[in-house]
Structure 1
Amino acid sequence: MTVALAASPALAFGVGDTKDDTKGDTNGSGSLSASASSIRISYPNGKAGGDKQGGLAAIDPNWEPPACWYEPAFTPEQLKDFVDTDGGGDVGIHESWFGKELWTDHYKDGKPADNFDLHAPTDSTAEGYKDYNLGKDGYFWRGIAPDASDPESWDCGRIMFWVDAGEIPDDPNAPTPKMLAEYAYNEVEVPETEIELKPETRSTVNLPTWVWLDEGTFKEVTVRAELPNTGLWAETTAKPVALHLDPGTDDAETYPASGDCEIDDDGSIGTPYAKGDADRTPPCGIRYLRASTDAPYQLKASITWQISWEGTGGANGDLPDGTFETTQDMNVQEIQSINR
Structure 2
Amino acid sequence: MLTAEAGTSRIKVTQKTGPSSGRAAQGLAPVDPQWKPPACWYEPVATPEQLKAGVDKLKQGGDLVRVTPSLSWGEELMVEHYEKGGQRSGGEAGYENFNLGEDGHFWRGVINPANRTDLDAYECERTLFWQAAGSVPDDAHAPTPDILAAYAYDKIKVPDTKVELKPATRSTVNLPTWVWLDKGDFAEVQVRAELPGTGLWAETTAKPVGLHLEPGTGDAETHPASGECVISKDGSIGTPYAKGTSQPPPPCGITYLRATSGTPYPLKAAVTWAISWQGSGGTGGDLPDGTFETTQDITVQEIQSINR
TM-score by length of 2: 0.92
Tell me which amino acid in the other structure corresponds to 1:323: T
Q: 1:49 to 1:257 in 2, by over 3 A?
A: farther
Residue number among 167, 178, 183 corresponding to 2:151 in the alignment: 183
In structure 2, the partner of 1:13 is none
In structure 2, the partner of 1:64 is 36
In structure 1, the partner of 2:98 is 132
Are the aligned partners of 2:47 and 2:104 in contact in 1 as well (CA < 8 Å)?
yes
Are the aligned partners of 1:193 and 1:324 in contact in 2 as well (CA < 8 Å)?
no
Are the aligned partners of 2:273 and 2:291 in contact in 1 as well (CA < 8 Å)?
yes
For the pair 1:169 / 2:137, whether they are aligned, the reply is: yes
Are the aligned partners of 1:87 and 1:100 in contact in 2 as well (CA < 8 Å)?
no
In structure 1, the partner of 2:49 is 77
Tell me which amino acid in the other structure corresponds to 1:318: D
For the pair 1:141 / 2:107, whether they are aligned, the reply is: yes
Rounded to whole Å, the distance in 2 between the matches of 1:196 and 1:32 is 46
Residue number among 73, 91, 111 corresponding to 2:67 in the alignment: 91
Q: Residues 182-331 of structure 1 correspond to what in structure 2 (within 5 A)? A: 182-331=150-299
Q: Report the alpha carbon displacement of residue 32 of structure 1 after superposing the two structures with TM.
A: 2.7
Are the aligned partners of 1:32 and 1:88 in contact in 2 as well (CA < 8 Å)?
no
Residue number among 111, 114, 121 corresponding to 2:86 in the alignment: 111
In structure 2, the partner of 1:38 is 10
Are the aligned partners of 1:193 and 1:303 in contact in 2 as well (CA < 8 Å)?
no
Question: Alpha-carbon deviations, 1:37-91, whole Å to 9, x = none?
Answer: 0000012235457621111000011000110000100110111011112452421
Tell me which amino acid in the other structure corresponds to 1:126: E
Rounded to whole Å, the distance in 1 between the matches of 2:237 and 2:18 is 23
User: Tell me, what secondary structure is at the counterpart of 2:251?
Assistant: coil
Q: Report the alpha carbon displacement of residue 237 of structure 1 after superposing the two structures with TM.
A: 0.4
Rounded to whole Å, the distance in 2 between the matches of 1:157 and 1:224 is 27
In structure 2, the partner of 1:7 is none
Q: Report the alpha carbon displacement of residue 199 of structure 1 after superposing the two structures with TM.
A: 4.6
Tell me which amino acid in the other structure corresponds to 1:292: T
Give the RMSD, CA atoms, in angstroms: 1.8
Are the aligned partners of 2:18 and 2:187 in contact in 1 as well (CA < 8 Å)?
no
Rounded to whole Å, the distance in 2 between the matches of 1:102 and 1:195 is 60
Are the aligned partners of 2:163 and 2:180 in contact in 1 as well (CA < 8 Å)?
no
Q: Report the alpha carbon displacement of residue 334 of structure 1 after superposing the two structures with TM.
A: 1.8
Rounded to whole Å, the distance in 2 between the matches of 1:268 and 1:202 is 24
Q: Report the alpha carbon displacement of residue 126 of structure 1 after superposing the two structures with TM.
A: 3.4
In structure 2, the partner of 1:3 is none
Structure 1: gaps (5+ residues): 1-23, 26-30, 115-123
Rounded to whole Å, the distance in 1 between the matches of 2:72 and 2:112 is 16
Rounded to whole Å, the distance in 2 between the matches of 1:210 and 1:50 is 28
Structure 2: gaps (5+ residues): none
Q: 1:76 to 1:318 in 2, by over 3 A?
A: same
User: Tell me, what secondary structure is at the counterpart of 1:270?
Assistant: coil
Question: Alpha-carbon deviations, 1:128-181, whole Å to 9, x = none?
Answer: 211111111111011000244321112211121111111110000000001100
Question: Alpha-carbon deviations, 1:299-319, whole Å to 9, x = none?
Answer: 011110000000001101000
Are the aligned partners of 1:222 and 1:238 in contact in 2 as well (CA < 8 Å)?
yes
Tell me which amino acid in the other structure corresponds to 2:7: S
User: Tell me, what secondary structure is at the counterpart of 2:38?
Assistant: coil
Rounded to whole Å, the distance in 2 between the matches of 1:46 and 1:276 is 35
Q: 1:164 to 1:107 in 2, by over 3 A?
A: same
User: Tell me, what secondary structure is at the counterpart of 1:139?
Assistant: strand
Rounded to whole Å, the distance in 2 between the matches of 1:61 and 1:113 is 41
In structure 2, the partner of 1:28 is none
